[in-house]
Structure 1
């Protein structure tokens, strides 16, 4: 335990931030660990031991600093009905390191049965909802503890050959190389196990891919123990954290290839970085013409939406004084200039703001967002927009969006619901200055093309509602779900009661549009919309009139009018 003003056994000078407070302890115990283990329980199955799990007679668990395994889990104890014992600690960590983990005991087939995850208290951020990056780090470290690693007690060198129940040679797991570039080329070690390689080939659209590239930088504990950052970017198992980490089918496939687990691929999260970009995306360096233009950049601090429009982002370049790009990873005439994430081979990447993920409701700024019609929500995406902004200011915002067909997206900006087939520009929003542009047709297809089905919306009652909320609304259509978002123009409708898949009721909430803007919005019929959790959507034009306040008119008191009349009479006499 870290004591204020002292040193812990890792020789880190402690400050008050390093102390495990009650709130930080509760955050680990009641939020991070339950959420992380619940996800992994849904994603992986394992052949359970017969009876209770006991872990031997040695009571020491050592990853970096030793922990004592409680006696009830040893051979002399009662054991526990579990597949793995997770020991959680909170010792200080250096710098910005949030957590580390690894297995300290394995069974006869080298499957981890005891693992330690340690959280650095100074880097914990207890908040509701939980920070996706922080939860992602917890899951990431637990996956290391399950065997996704090239170092430690178990891992790639100890994978099980199910046909013989013997350990596979590491060369059958990390048995390929991937070369990048035709000049000044460099190579990655790569995973070539059956399921992981098949999933990677399908994801990238590269049937000739020899192996799944592993990180080659970062030193012991990072190199060869993570996916290559350059081509996996925000995948959970890269070597640096992301604002919106995703568990891909490729990671679940590798865990299945270990021989210790069976993966539930339905638990994989949507991962779109590099999807369908072909072999050139992996084989070529990240330069214009070889890589998509919205992945890379050339001018520092220029803001834009990220590669899949899930977040507000910025070009981040660094002029390195040391440790900069080697000759085979240089992209600028200045040899010291490179992308801010060195693990991505110094590629000049567009990097998401930590508070820029549009689906993260913790990013809501209730004081400012309404003046730009900005909405952070489950359904929000990044859109090029100058709505509510002065010329030259930031030109990207998060707006709610869904797919009304395989080739059509809808976007809510204030009171308006715009329809996008791709590339429409100069669209406006009632009451706001500025305009916004639809994403490209390529993005619409990528976002909407694989949607299996779409709801419909055929009627809304009543046909006139107030901005102030509190009214009951009945919806008619098809494909309704309890998790759908409902809005009539700028008015959200919450507390949804699903009467059937064709009928639902909800209660309107007060509009968040500022009164100064609402006063300039005409009282006219507005489009209603529903968006389901899978982003499929339906709209109904002219569904209901949204009654907005009339522009304020100041009336002078009667006494003032009398005084003004007397003054005019006096002036008339003076100039008669």
Structure 2
């Protein structure tokens, strides 16, 4: 005879199977019972109930992963520019690895339900996982000269040279200077709304990330908002300082929360010597800025992630095209006609900032790069018109993290902003108008100090006045592309090359001692009274006592008193009104135009929120993004940036060996019966 408990349990199982089977086959209602959005609340309650059974069934969640289809976001970038490893807690079946050491398609993890974490808004915290910053734990890292290693970036074998070795000194440089510079910069400007301790995540897998194959482990959670794995192995190209990518995305709002950055030892090793660092300030700043540039890619500046940006006004992904493209047509001075595709980013604050910056309401958005490889195009600001901004595809010693890039990160919906008064100014092209920003460059629309000139190789202040440079053009062996021709001769163009569309402007060249940055205190003065340092900028003065004499560029200390520019000459301060000539002791200063004074910062019209966006769920309700973490705060892996995995099927099964599992959706009424049975048992 059956006991009362056994009878009730038998009836319950019959009801469970019958109800679930009927619901799975029902096509009479306009409800997708197989959708994760429908199943999630039932599954959450179901999991909690299962875990409350003292001697009952231990449920398992199975998620679909793409097999061997992992791809780096910026795998073809031209300028790809300490914490312990989280302990593996054995939630995954380690015996389920294949011959290559990768986990098989279906990896299992025990359900580990935790209380909902307390959510706060706070400056973003980056945790750098340096487990693989070692020749002993990362097989592509050079340990000794003559060692053969495979470069994952290009899938080639190289022989390690002295400059490729990851020494203790280089490790100290990376962990004590480079990484803190990255994290402190982000903490100063970005906030997130989320748990102070990231909940335990069901992800522990040997996977490709940035073409690096290593175990990504966030299964124990971590005391930060973003975990970035760090490596330092050869890249094989000296001009590539570093590269980085996002690896894992938050299932709730698709914000990257884990990534990877690789530092090129060939570039950084010499700077492990602090004396070398002090005597090579320009190169050091270039490399340091490149590391920050790459980390911003890992936070979300990538065209592959634009479609996941959240519109703060609706709590949903943008329902308008935020990445418009146009086909520009025109004719070169030589008479050659052309058409070229141009791409823009038009999120609300980016659009506002760029229109204000150029003083042009016709701007369709901030233009994105259309030169370079797959990882450079559309994932950087257009170098020709943004020139020095940190997120163009070309590294420079002066590369401001401006409100333009901060606006992009803000418009992603993933970050709030703080301390905007400390954002570095974007100066190139300031208030130069629509023709400057939208038309092909030339002597008519780029006729400003530091930009176009009729005299080749003439020394002048750079357009941003950060340096003394030269504007130089040359005759190339072949005709330039029609849209990059700016002289009547088809093969004449600026020596800045394709990166800047062969446009002409004053610039610093490494091989010209007559060009230099004003911040570099190692520079030898070329003009009387020149002073170098962080407060110095280039300003023109007349060579003799007459304003008709030749203009000479020189670095001098300057400051802003309100909106008034003052320049220091021989330790005495002089007011320098826009466009005026001012006698300063023995010289006559030529004061910059109003748009080049640098005393009026470019700001948002409305103060941005310091919160992440609130994401609307499928019922139109607004909920905190970081609270909407899905099942047990679970997250989805970014295995392929073009094919982000959606947890669109969650399977509850008694066995992981079945090749074809039935899809069973457990509705709420069954959950109630489960609770009743638990009570009886």
Give the TM-score band, short-chain normalised.
0.5 to 0.7
In structure 1, which of residues 334, 338, 342 is the aligned counterpart of residue 489 of structure 2? Answer: 334
- The equivalent of 2:184 in structure 1 is 38
Q: CA deviation at 1:427?
A: 5.1
In structure 2, which of residues 290, 303, 315 is the aligned counterpart of residue 137 of structure 1? Answer: 290
- The equivalent of 2:340 in structure 1 is 186
- The equivalent of 2:444 in structure 1 is 289
Q: CA deviation at 1:274?
A: 1.5
Q: Work out the number of aligned pairs and report it.
A: 431
**TM-score (norm. length: structure 1):** 0.67
Partner of 1:374, secondary structure, is coil
Contact 2:196–2:224 under 8 Å retained in 1: no
Confirm or deny that 1:101 pairs with 2:244. Answer: yes
In structure 2, which of residues 477, 496, 501 is the aligned counterpart of residue 345 of structure 1? Answer: 501
Q: Provide the C-alpha distance between the structure 2 equivalents of 1:406 and 1:163, rounded to a whole number of angstroms.
A: 34
- Deviations 1:318-370, CA, capped at 9 Å, x for gaps: 44446x7301210123322322141222212221356966552x4434xx439
Mapping 1:75-86, distance limit 5 Å: 75=219, 78-86=220-228
Distance 1:157 1:382, change over 3 A: same
**TM-score (norm. length: structure 2):** 0.57
Q: Provide the C-alpha distance between the structure 2 equivalents of 1:98 and 1:357, rounded to a whole number of angstroms.
A: 21
Q: Provide the C-alpha distance between the structure 2 equivalents of 1:351 and 1:283, rounded to a whole number of angstroms.
A: 22
Confirm or deny that 1:112 pairs with 2:256. Answer: yes
- The equivalent of 1:491 in structure 2 is none
Confirm or deny that 1:317 pairs with 2:460. Answer: no
Contact 1:305–1:382 under 8 Å retained in 2: yes
Q: Provide the C-alpha distance between the structure 2 equivalents of 1:276 and 1:415, rounded to a whole number of angstroms.
A: 32
Confirm or deny that 1:91 pairs with 2:204. Answer: no
Distance 1:449 1:196, change over 3 A: closer
Q: Provide the C-alpha distance between the structure 1 equivalents of 2:498 and 2:517, rounded to a whole number of angstroms.
A: 25
Richer in strand (by share) = 1
Distance 1:281 1:61, change over 3 A: farther
Q: Provide the C-alpha distance between the structure 2 equivalents of 1:244 and 1:81, rounded to a whole number of angstroms.
A: 33
Confirm or deny that 1:175 pairs with 2:316. Answer: no
Q: CA deviation at 1:187?
A: 3.6
Q: Provide the C-alpha distance between the structure 1 equivalents of 2:366 and 2:183, rounded to a whole number of angstroms.
A: 26
Partner of 1:222, secondary structure, is coil
Contact 1:200–1:212 under 8 Å retained in 2: yes
Partner of 2:589, secondary structure, is coil
Q: CA deviation at 1:250?
A: 1.8
Mapping 1:446-485, distance limit 5 Å: 446-448=597-599
- Deviations 1:465-497, CA, capped at 9 Å, x for gaps: xxxxxxxxxxxxxxxxxxxxxxxxxxxxxxxxx
Q: Provide the C-alpha distance between the structure 2 equivalents of 1:449 and 1:45, rounded to a whole number of angstroms.
A: 26
Contact 2:376–2:393 under 8 Å retained in 1: yes
Unaligned segments of structure 2, at least 5 residues: 1-140, 272-276, 332-336, 603-681
Confirm or deny that 1:159 pairs with 2:302. Answer: no
Q: Provide the C-alpha distance between the structure 2 equivalents of 1:135 and 1:373, rounded to a whole number of angstroms.
A: 30
Q: Provide the C-alpha distance between the structure 2 equivalents of 1:300 and 1:6, rounded to a whole number of angstroms.
A: 48
Distance 1:300 1:90, change over 3 A: farther
Partner of 2:178, secondary structure, is helix
Q: Provide the C-alpha distance between the structure 2 equivalents of 1:215 and 1:168, rounded to a whole number of angstroms.
A: 22
> Alpha carbon RMSD of aligned pairs, Å?
3.3
In structure 2, which of residues 157, 160, 163 is the aligned counterpart of residue 17 of structure 1? Answer: 163
Partner of 1:48, secondary structure, is strand
Contact 1:308–1:443 under 8 Å retained in 2: no
Q: Provide the C-alpha distance between the structure 2 equivalents of 1:193 and 1:428, rounded to a whole number of angstroms.
A: 46
- Deviations 1:125-179, CA, capped at 9 Å, x for gaps: 522478332222121111100111124xxx113323567766557x733134374
Q: Provide the C-alpha distance between the structure 1 equivalents of 2:508 and 2:222, rounded to a whole number of angstroms.
A: 43
Q: Provide the C-alpha distance between the structure 2 equivalents of 1:301 and 1:411, rounded to a whole number of angstroms.
A: 27
- The equivalent of 1:308 in structure 2 is 464
Unaligned segments of structure 1, at least 5 residues: 452-576
Mapping 1:221-300, distance limit 5 Å: 221-264=375-418, 265-294=420-449, 295-300=451-456
Q: Provide the C-alpha distance between the structure 1 equivalents of 2:316 and 2:448, rounded to a whole number of angstroms.
A: 47
